[in-house]
């Protein structure tokens, strides 16, 4: 079994929220094409608000995942250097 992508794991809750907002937009628009013109402004505003609220969470998750990856790479480099200079 493969290891899940840490970025995807970190951003999953925000991405799920955005996908649910898109689904809700579709529901808010309704099945009647005659009412779409009336429903569109409110539905779009609701969708934009949800996405705007999710963006900071996605950025924080990406930053956190990046920081963990950088620290892991630095730790691996330190361990490799320490192993190369330690007498056997």
pLDDT tens digits for range 47-73 = 999 999 999 988 988 898 889 889 999
72 is a domain residue: yes
Q: Give the number of domains in the chain.
A: 1
| pTM for this model (two decimals) | 0.70
Half-sphere exposure of 35 (CA within 13 A, CB side): 10
Half-sphere exposure of 42 (CA within 13 A, CB side): 9
| Count of other CB atoms within 10 angstroms of residue 46 | 14
3 is a domain residue: no
Is the pLDDT at 1 greater than 90? The verdict is no
17 is a domain residue: yes
C-beta of residue 40 within 8 angstroms of C-beta of residue 63: no
Is the pLDDT at 87 greater than 80? The verdict is no
Residue-averaged pLDDT of the chain: 90
Local structure of 3: helix, strand or coil:
coil
Residue 60 structure tokens: 């924080």
Could you tell me which residues come within 8 angstroms of residue 71 by beta carbon, excluding any fewer than 6 positions away? none
1 is a domain residue: no
For residue 37, give its domain range: 8-85
């Amino acid at each position: 079994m493969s290891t899940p992508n840490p970025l995807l794991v970190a951003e999953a809750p925000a991405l799920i929220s955005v996908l649910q907002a898109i689904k809700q937009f579709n529901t808010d628009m309704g099945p009647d094409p005659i009412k779409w013109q009336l429903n569109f402004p409110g539905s779009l505003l609701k969708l934009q608000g949800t996405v705007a609220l999710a963006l900071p969470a996605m950025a924080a998750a990406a930053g956190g995942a990046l920081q963990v990856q950088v620290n892991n790479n630095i730790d691996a480099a330190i361990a490799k250097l320490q192993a190369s200079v330690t007498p056997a």
